[in-house]
Amino acid sequence: MREKLASFGDDYWIEDDAGQRVYRVNGKALRVRDTFVLEDASGNEVARIQERKLSVRDKVAVERGGRTAVTVYKALIGLRARFTIDVEDGAPMRASGNFIGHEYQIERDGRVIATISKRWFRMRESYGIDVAQGEDVPLILSITVAIDSLT
């Protein structure tokens, strides 16, 4: 995944481990709140990632099929950086680690379901996302985009 730089609209591609473009993050420019659309390689919307304003905690909702699938909240207090991920139809998740440096994990029920790391790449603006077998890849990618927008 490409780190957000000063690109207009924050559009970027997500490639698989073979270098094929599989998802595009379409940052909607000139909006009151941050909005990103995760699209498949054909341009079909897979998820909408949207910042929620006017709340006590910073949060971003991931919508799929017109419904909120997950809501990502930044922790209010704590020595370690972390995020809480409320899943609409499932067990909650949490993310912890170094978010600015793109070195963190997403866990559910005490099990790591995704590892995000910049160390795997030589290019400074890239980082990798390793998703556990059987997990919902587009949802994990959307959560990663949400966390990136909150950091």
Closest CA to 107 of 89, 88, 132: 132
- Per-residue pLDDT of 132-150, as tens digits, reads 999 999 999 999 999 988 8
pLDDT at residue 34 in the model: 75
Fold of the CATH domain 12-150: Porin (2.40.160)
Contact (CB, 8 A) for 52 and 72? no
What letter does residue 127 receive in the DSSP assignment?
Answer: -
Q: Tell me the pLDDT of the chain averaged across its residues.
A: 82
- pTM of the model as a whole: 0.83
- Per-residue pLDDT of 75-86, as tens digits, reads 766 556 689 999
Question: How far is residue 127's CA from residue 117's CA, in Å, rounded to a whole number?
Answer: 6
SS (H, E, C) 6-60: CCCCCCEEEECCCCCEEEEEEECCCCCCCEEEEEECCCCEEEEEEEECCCCCCEE
- Per-residue pLDDT of 4-29, as tens digits, reads 433 445 678 888 888 899 999 988 65
Cβ neighbours of 51 (radius 10 Å): 19
Contact (CB, 8 A) for 128 and 139? no
